[in-house]
């Protein structure tokens, strides 16, 4: 699925990157507002307690304007601080409102830089306030290059007109225009470079994370295939033998015994031939689920291959295991399986039960052979039976 989206024509980036950029901007506004609160307070206090020594109405008005402009921005940054903190706390940093807040913050500080620079022309013929705000906005806020170009183009026009109204010396006006133009060009370039770098890093990281997720999924799938039969979700033969070997050690150490059940679906080839292999696979899946639902948590079951299954019952006698086998036999025989043509699929199974005693050179092979032997006795007797060592314990139903 293509995750690239377009937000109001501003930029085209991966959706997850867009969300991360918006959250990063909220964090930056939060920290910026905290720092600028201190800066604005410092300016207000400095100009309040250090009035111009020369008796000049212009200088007095200039000082009052600086105090007023910093006071206004102080209120703005305090509001932004609380707003960004609320958005971070409530995890609302990915809404479209975040884009609006970022844009408003940038525009307000650029206008602040223009106004302070223009009002200061009679005292200092410099564009330093505008330069600092322009560079600061470009370096701190992550704004798409196209939006940055529009913002700074509009701000430069405002600066151009405003300076002409406050500065009367033609040579200083020309110098201010050129310095402001240079500041704007540097700011646009800086914003573009930072945007591209951040977006590239985020996209590369997300790509690596996706590749890692794909690799993890593949590893999990591989682990599953190494451990389980994919059709029935039971253990495969190799994993079952690992469990058996561990269980033999536990049985010898703790002095208990168990039982082995082997069963084979009767006439399963006929089911495949008559109804097709998809129905045969469905039968195997249903039988696997029956086994999972009807054995204990400590017991283990596996598909040996084809239509043959094996179950290891821990700490169960042959008599108890025969009860379990009969329960499985009855549930298999009553499987409500139907084909697409509403034909009933009759499934039965033949069971062999043998004790699993941890003695001899190969206790599992001994138990396996005995259970397999009596299972084939059940098959020769017509199937749908449970037989156990040393004799038939349940008649055909």
Give 290-308 pLDDT, tens digit per residue: 999 999 889 999 999 899 9
- β-strands 386-388, 349-356 pairing: parallel
Which pLDDT value is given to residue 393? 42
Contact (CB, 8 A) for 144 and 98: no
pLDDT in tens, 223-275: 888 899 999 999 999 999 999 999 998 888 888 889 999 999 999 999 999 99
Which pLDDT value is given to residue 56? 65
Q: How many helices (H) and strands (E) does the chain have?
A: 11, 7
Contact (CB, 8 A) for 329 and 340: no
**Residue extents of the structural domains in the chain:** 4-214, 237-388
- β-strands 258-265, 12-14 pairing: unpaired
Contact (CB, 8 A) for 354 and 371: yes
For residue 313, the SS3 value is: strand
Contact (CB, 8 A) for 65 and 54: no
Contact (CB, 8 A) for 132 and 181: no
Residue 365 has pLDDT above 60, yes or no: yes
- Distance, in Å, from the CA atom of 184 to the CA atom of 149, rounded to the nearest integer, reads 9
pLDDT in tens, 52-111: 655 667 778 888 888 999 999 999 999 999 999 999 998 888 888 888 999 999 999 999
Superfamily of domain 237-388 in the CATH hierarchy: Reverse transcriptase/Diguanylate cyclase domain (3.30.70.270)
- Distance, in Å, from the CA atom of 228 to the CA atom of 237, rounded to the nearest integer, reads 9
Kindly indicate the confidence band of residue 3, based on its pLDDT and cuts at 50, 70 and 90.
very low
Which pLDDT value is given to residue 96? 85
- Distance, in Å, from the CA atom of 167 to the CA atom of 175, rounded to the nearest integer, reads 11
Kindly indicate the confidence band of residue 13, based on its pLDDT and cuts at 50, 70 and 90.
low
46's CB contacts (< 8 A; 6+ apart) are: none
């Amino acid at each position: 699925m293509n995750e690239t989206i377009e937000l109001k024509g501003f930029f085209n980036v991966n959706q997850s990157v867009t969300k991360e950029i918006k959250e990063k901007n909220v964090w930056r506004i939060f920290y910026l507002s905290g720092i600028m609160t201190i800066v604005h307070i410092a300016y207000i206090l400095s100009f309040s307690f250090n009035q111009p020594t020369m008796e000049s109405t212009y200088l007095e008005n200039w000082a009052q304007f600086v105090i007023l402009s910093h006071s206004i921005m102080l209120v703005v940054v305090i509001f932004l601080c609380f707003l960004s903190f609320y958005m971070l706390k409530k995890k609302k940093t990915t809404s479209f409102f975040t884009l609006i807040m970022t844009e408003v913050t940038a525009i307000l500080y650029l206008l602040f830089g223009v106004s302070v620079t223009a009002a200061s022309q009679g005292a200092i013929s410099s564009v330093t306030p505008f330069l600092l705000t322009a560079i600061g906005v470009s370096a701190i806020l992550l704004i798409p290059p196209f939006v940055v170009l529009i913002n700074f183009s509009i701000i430069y026009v405002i600066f151009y007109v405003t300076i002409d109204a406050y500065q009367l010396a033609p040579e200083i006006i020309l110098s201010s225009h050129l310095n402001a133009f240079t500041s704007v060009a540097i700011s646009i370039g800086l914003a573009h470079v930072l945007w591209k770098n951040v977006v590239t890093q985020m996209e590369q990281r997300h790509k690596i994370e996706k590749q890692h997720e794909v690799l993890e999924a593949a590893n999990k799938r591989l682990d599953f295939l190494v451990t389980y039969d994919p059709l029935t979700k039971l253990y495969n033969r190799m994993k079952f033998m690992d469990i058996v070997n561990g269980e033999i050690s536990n049985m010898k150490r703790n002095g208990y015994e168990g039982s082995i059940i082997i069963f084979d679906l009767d006439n399963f080839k006929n089911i495949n031939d008559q109804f097709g292999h998809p129905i045969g696979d469905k039968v195997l899946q249903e039988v696997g689920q029956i086994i999972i639902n009807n054995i204990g948590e400590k017991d283990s079951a596996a598909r040996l291959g084809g239509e043959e299954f094996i179950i290891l019952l821990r700490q169960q006698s042959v008599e108890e295991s025969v009860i379990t086998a009969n329960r499985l036999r009855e549930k298999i025989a009553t499987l409500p399986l139907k084909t697409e043509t509403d034909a009933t699929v009759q499934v039965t199974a033949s069971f062999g039960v043998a004790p699993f005693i941890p003695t001899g050179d190969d206790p599992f092979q001994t138990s396996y052979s005995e259970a397999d032997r009596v299972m084939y006795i059940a098959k020769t007797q017509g199937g749908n039976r449970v037989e156990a060592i040393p004799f038939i314990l349940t008649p055909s139903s």
